[in-house]
Every structure is written in structure tokens, then in C-alpha cells.
Amino acid sequence: MKYRAEIDGLRALAVVPVILFHAGIELFSGGFVGVDVFFVISGYLITTILIEDIENKRFSIINFYERRARRILPALFFVMLVCIPFAWMWMLPDPLENFGQSLVATTLFSNNILLTTTEADYWAVKAIYKPLLHTWSLGVEEQYYLVFPVFLILAWRFGQNSVFWMIVVMSAGSLLMSEWGWRNSTTANFYLTPTRAWELFAGSIAAFVTQKQGVQKNNLLALIGLAAIIFSILIFDEAMPVPSLYSTVPVIGAVLLVLFANKDTFAARLLSTKVFVGIGLISYSAYLWHQPLISFFKIYSRNQVENLEPWVLVFTTICLSYLTWRFIEQPFRKGATISSSLFVALILSIALGLIAIGAYFHVSNGAPERMFSDESYKRSTHEINVAKVTRHDFRRLSGNIDKHIEFLIYGDSFAADVAYLAKYRDPSVKLALMSSDPSPQNEICRDNILSEVGRLGVKNVIFAYDEGFDISCINEILVSATKKDIDILFIGTKQFGLNLNWLSRLGIDEREALCQQPSAEKVEFDIRDEKRIPEKHYFSFFRTYSKNNCFPITNSLGELLSSDRQHFTISGVEYFSGKFFENDNVRRVFDTEN
């Protein structure tokens, strides 16, 4: 395959915005589209290599996979190994357990599947505390590499033209699937291969075109492609549904550069400069390093990354990337330096080691003995419930159960926390934690919700949602509830700060009665809801427990009140139950005898 310097330059244009976006540089609000560009490049390069090998009758599936393994695994495994001691030293048990799961999944090129099944929101603030979050894209690529060569060699008997149109049809199907996906399952749409495949197929389509026609010289189209990518980087933001039709802007931009950025075009000359090519050569290592560096820096820090710190992280990423490219990537890519048998033995040994370490972190629940005694750990994790609380389907509440229910609790996992508070205060309390639509708008504003409550003869209803109550029917439902003699209480959101991992570096005697600033987003939710909901129908955790915007995170024994920054531990239930039930609004609703 003839070397194209501008493709390395395009790699630089893809990786730098991704790094700056994750580092928090606001100008690059759409930097995440760099991954879309990477997918196009990968599809183009791999398809070009495969076509040439098949056409020249030298294709070998074993050789193909060995080349891919030499290109991807050594640097990836090296970065993962470096991450492990820092995770051990700086992570609380719950995040370390999650990190262990990521070690296993990344080694097996399925971290995109893990993130989907655990509903890990890529855009959530807490995602930045996942050092291996970015390996989801490697999962997509490797799953593509696993299937696409087999498809190509089997389909080639029908002729190159037929294969081309098969790929066009599959690409269109994948794009349509992504359009459905972002409307119906945003997490799966973002991470999974079927809704990302069209971006790789776009590169494959470009490879077929260049194989027949060569790289054309068209300054205008090449510049339009360059402008499309830059536009996406600067204009797109986290609110943009991706992948979707919006993603066609950077994807088509990359395709135009592949097809029309002949070496004599302005765009190709720009991308072929030493700076662009140099960064492009180390782009894979740069991509691998940037997320762990940013993540561990934030995990270690008690405060937000600010001032020049993001730029220091970017500079450190570039330095480590060069060293990794020079001393890890290059030697392993050369078969003469490291034989195939030695390479396979080494990679398999490291892979098994990573899986074993990850499995240990998982089964040990994040090795809590590093920082907790057995008893303090049991009281400092939300995995061990303080009482049995079961969600009920309203349609199954009937007969004798109905007659004993004193109040209903609707909501997401935050509603379960309210149920734990009630059960801790009085284990015999008769409550029903109801199955609820994740959206408070869809649940609370349902036409028949109060009729359901009335059918049970229940007079007290509590709503609690992580995202608070940005709903349209607050006044209407309160008026309707008053007419039906039903008392409603909205429980405000809660949040224990962006990062709790710094507590892992403190001794138990240094963790006593600590607090920190909660997430600004959640505080804004609480302020919004306090303004909209009448005072007698609202309870605010922040207003009740915060002092100078500092929300409690440990009790007087140094035990964690939350292990995941959102939900109560046993210690948290004990700690918060006091003032919670002293609140007049709470007492009115929960003390049903009054």
C-alpha cells in the first residue's frame, strides 16, 4: 500500500481534538468527532490492504490478525499495566471494582459492550473518572476487524463490484439503525458496533473508489472535507445525538479528504507538514494515554482541574506517546525484531495476567481491605442494603397488600434510598416502592397516576428522581391531589461531590466528619425545584445538610456516607435519617397516624 502522509496528518486532526475535548478545553466542544474520523481512516486503510492482498492472492487471515495484534496490543497492554498500580493506590473499592471489569472487557475487546450493559453515560461527569472509558472505540474497531475480512473473502466470489454495493447497503442500514438508536437507546447507539459500522464502511467505500480511480486532485472538495471536520470540532457539542445523521458531517469530510486530497492539493500539503505527520504517527499512543492521564489526575485531585493543568496533561500525553511509539509500538510492529511465536506467547501471557487482575478486583469488590476494616467496609458501601426493599408493579398490588400500604414511593434509584431511610427508621412501615418510568415527566404527569393511588386508598405519595423535577404538571397534580385528599412530597436530588477517591489516601482517623462541594449541576436542579414546588411539598437535602455549600461525605467514624457519589451507604442511611425525619414536611407525610 502506497504511503500517504496526509492520512497521518488526518490522524493528527482526529486525535488532537479528542484529547483537548476530554481535557476540558471549551473551544473544542465537538472534539469527540475525532473518533468518527478515526473510524473512517481505519475502514479505509484496512479495506485497502485487504483488497490488495485478495487481488494479489496473498491474503492470509492469520497474517492479517497478527498484523492487527502487533499494531494494537503491545501499546494498549502497556498502558493498561501502567494504570493498575495507580488504580490500586488511588481508587475507592467501588471504582476499583469497575476498573477491574474494564480491564477484563478491554483485554477481550468488549469494553463497549460492558459500558452498554452497565448503562455508563459517556457524557456524564463521572465518566471522566473511568481510566479505560476510551477503549470502547477499540472494541468497535476490533469487532469490525474480526468480521469484515471474513465477509470480504467470502463475498469476493461475487465480484468486486457486487461486494462494493453490498457494503453500501450495509452502511445505509447501519446509519438508519443509528438514527433509530439515538431516539430509543442512546447508550447502546453510542457504544455498539452495529450503529457505528457505517462510519467504518464509509472508509471501506472510499477504499474501493481509490482502488479503481486513484486519489483524485480536487482542491475544492478536499477543502470542503477539511472544513467539515473543523466545523464539527468547533460547533458540535455534547447535546448533539451521535452517531446520527449529524455525524455524516465529519464522516463525509474525512471521506472527501481520502478521495480528493491528492498530494498536490492545499489540504494534503497542510496535513503533510511535519507537525501533523509527527502527531499522526504517535496518534494511537496519544489516544491510549490521554484518558488515563486525565482520569487519574482527577481521581487524585480533591479540586477541579483548572488554569494551566489541562495543558500540562496534554503536553504529558504527547511526551508519553512519543516514548511509547518509539520503544513499544515500533519494535513490536517489526516481525524481524520479535518473532511471531515469541509475540504470541508474550501477548497471551499479558492478556491472561490482565484478566486475572481484573477478575480479582471484581470478585473482591475492589479490594476494600486496602483502606477499610471488614465492619467499616460493610457500612461504607451501597452494595449492602440496610433493609429489604422491593419494587412493585402497580397492577400486582391488590387484596390484603393494598389495605396495609401507608404510602407509595415513585422514582428511580433515589426513590429506593428514600425507602431505605423509611425502613431504617421503622422496619415495620408499610410502603410500596413503585416501578416507575425513568422520566419524571412521563410518570408524574400521567393522567391516571392519582387514580391509581386512590384505588389503593393511599393518602401519601413521595416522588424522588436523580434529575429532579423538570416537569410541566406540578401545579396541576398538586391541585388534583388536594381534591382527592392525597398528600404529595417531592424529594430533592442529592450528590456527594464529583470525586470521592481522594479519601482512599487518608487514614480512617483522617476521614472523620468531612464534606465537599456537590456537583454544581445537581445544586442547580435543587434550586430550580425549590422555586417551582410549594415549600410544604418539597424536601431539599442540600438545604438541610449543607454548610457553606459543603455536603457531608463521611460520618464521625470516618465511614463513607456514599460510595458512588449518589446513593447512600448503611452509614449514610443512619446519618441522614435523623434530620430527614425531623423535617416538618417529611413528618407530615410519613407519620400517617397524624
Instruction: Clarify whether residues 348 and 466 are in a common domain.
Output: no
Q: What is the CATH number of the domain that holds 550?
A: 3.40.50
For residue 408, the cross-strand partners are: 432, 461
Q: Which residues of 309-323 are buried (b: 16+ CB within 10 A; e: fewer)?
A: bbeebbeebbebbbe
Last residue of a domain, one of 343, 370, 397: 370
Last residue of a domain, one of 370, 394, 415: 370
Instruction: Clarify whether residues 385 and 346 are in a common domain.
Output: no
Q: Cβ(584)–Cβ(576) under 8 Å?
A: no
Instruction: Clarify whether residues 287 and 319 are in a common domain.
Output: yes
Q: How far apart are the first and last CA of the chain?
A: 82
pLDDT at 593: 55
Q: What pairing do the DSSP bridges indicate for beta strands 460-464 and 407-411?
A: parallel
Instruction: Clarify whether residues 365 and 381 are in a common domain.
Output: no
Q: Cβ(528)–Cβ(470) under 8 Å?
A: yes
Q: Cβ(194)–Cβ(112) under 8 Å?
A: no
The amino acid at residue 10 is L
- Three-state secondary structure call for residue 14: helix
385: number of CA atoms within 13 Å, CB side? Answer: 12
C-alpha cell at 537: 411539598
C-alpha cell at 120: 455508563
Please state the φ and ψ torsions of residue 147, each to the nearest 5 degrees. -100, -40
Q: Cβ(328)–Cβ(525) under 8 Å?
A: no
pLDDT at 395: 59
| Distance (Å, whole) CA 46 – CA 193 | 16
Instruction: Clarify whether residues 433 and 554 are in a common domain.
Output: yes
Angle at the Cα of 77 from the Cα atoms of 72 and 81, rounded to 5 degrees:
160
Rounded average pLDDT per 10-residue block, the chain, 594 residues: 92 97 92 97 96 92 93 97 97 94 97 93 83 97 95 94 97 98 95 98 97 95 98 95 97 98 96 97 98 95 80 96 96 83 95 98 93 84 70 61 76 93 89 87 88 84 95 94 94 94 90 94 96 96 95 94 92 93 92 58
pLDDT at 594: 46
Instruction: Clarify whether residues 324 and 409 are in a common domain.
Output: no
Last residue of a domain, one of 355, 370, 385: 370
From the list 232, 263, 156, 243, the residue with the least C-alpha distance to 200 is 243
| Distance (Å, whole) CA 570 – CA 488 | 26
Q: Measured between alpha carbons, how far is residue 475 from residues 77, 214, 233, 445, 538 in Å?
A: 56, 66, 42, 11, 13
- At which residue does the C-alpha cell 450528590 appear? 495
pLDDT at 584: 94
| Distance (Å, whole) CA 97 – CA 100 | 5
Per-position DSSP letters for 544-587, written without gaps between them: HH-BTTBEE-B-TT--BS-SSSSS--HHHHHHHHHHHHHSHHHH
Please state the φ and ψ torsions of residue 301, each to the nearest 5 degrees. -80, 145
Instruction: Clarify whether residues 329 and 384 are in a common domain.
Output: no
Instruction: Clarify whether residues 359 and 496 are in a common domain.
Output: no
pLDDT at 474: 95
Instruction: Clarify whether residues 325 and 391 are in a common domain.
Output: no
Alpha helices in 23-92 (DSSP H): 34-55, 61-90
Instruction: Clarify whether residues 320 and 423 are in a common domain.
Output: no
- In which domain, by residue range, is 282 found? 5-370
Helices and strands in the chain: count of H runs, count of E runs: 27, 8
pLDDT at 427: 86
Q: How many domains does the chain have?
A: 2
C-alpha cell at 109: 475487546
Q: Measured between alpha carbons, how far is residue 588 from residues 280, 449, 584 in Å?
A: 64, 21, 6
Per-position DSSP letters for 276-331, written without gaps between them: HHHHHHTHHHHHHHHHHHHHHHHHH-SS---TTHHHHHHHHHHHHHHHHIIIIIHH
Q: Cβ(437)–Cβ(443) under 8 Å?
A: yes
pLDDT at 260: 97
**DSSP helix, strand, coil percent of the chain (3-state; round to 5):** 65, 5, 30
Instruction: Clarify whether residues 42 and 171 are in a common domain.
Output: yes
Instruction: Clarify whether residues 94 and 234 are in a common domain.
Output: yes
Q: Measured between alpha carbons, how far is residue 90 from residues 26, 85, 498 in Å?
A: 28, 9, 15
Rg (CA), the chain: 27
Q: Measured between alpha carbons, how far is residue 398 from residues 154, 291, 403 in Å?
A: 59, 51, 8
